[in-house]
Structure 1
């Protein structure tokens, strides 16, 4: 894994308080695959360019989503993809990954990302927006 990939996973691992890097990587892979299904065009490409290569490829080759998932359904979908996860642990996983993504993206790109997502994702990224 590249140094950038290791640093990204270290951040996810620390935020998620995971015991192993493998747990952090599993969460990152699932959350980024689901996120990629919700982003389109230049916004997805710009975010991928800021992610480590292996995670960028996951974002660019997402799971297919018929419709945008509400934040609650996004967490439930994450729980369904992670073996042994509950909605509570999945919410933790989503928060650990998306807050790391928010830092990597920066405020301007994060604003563009949030415009493509249903209302409420700002909280999943750990960046509550004023109403």
Structure 2
């Protein structure tokens, strides 16, 4: 997937005014996600993302411990200047729903197995994959 297509999808789902806002959200969310998924699944997801975002996923922000879904949202809010938990949840949903589409159902299921409960909703799924 080309970077501009990825960003356009994130921008549309996040209802961002500019591609720069979508890019900022994508960089933070994928950086945090990369600290929580490992191995073959992280590499497979990275291979389905544009190179710029794949590198962010593969070289993540550091996490001391796994974050549950709520703490993941709070961490996102902390990394995005001016964000609240509500806007961060929106950012996370916009980015992870596009990533879920790129991952496909099998890879998404395997990713969710690595994550604490609640991430299925962050990826835009109403029930665990």
The answer to whether the superposition gives a TM-score over 0.5 is yes
Given the alignment of the two structures, is residue 50 of structure 1 paired with residue 48 of structure 2, yes or no?
yes
Q: Does residue 9 of the first structure (1) align with residue 7 of the second (2)?
A: yes
Distance in 2 between the 1:78 and 1:67 partners?
A: 15
Q: Cα offset for 1:76?
A: 0.3
Matches within 5 A, 1:1-131: 4-129=2-127
State the Cα deviation string for residues 88-121 of structure 1 (Å, max 9, x = none).
0000000000000000100000000000000010
Displacement over 4 Å in runs of 4+: none
Equivalent pairs, count = 129
Distance 2:14 2:34 in 1: 21
Q: 1:116 to 1:20 in 2, by over 3 A?
A: same
Give the TM-score taking structure 2 as reference length.
Answer: 0.97
Q: C-alpha separation between the residues in 2 aligned to 1:63 and 1:24?
A: 18
Point out where structure 1 has 5 or more consecutive residues left out of the alignment: none
Alignment partners' CA distance in 1, 2:128 and 2:34: 25
- Structure 2: any 5+ residue segments left out of the alignment? none
Question: Within 2, Cα distance between the matches of 1:23 and 1:104?
Answer: 20
If the length of structure 1 is used for normalisation, what is the TM-score?
0.96
Please give the alpha-carbon distance, in whole angstroms, between the structure 1 residues aligned to 2:57 and 2:99: 11
RMSD: 1.2
Q: Report how far residue 130 of structure 1 moved.
A: 5.1
Shift of 1:66: 1.2
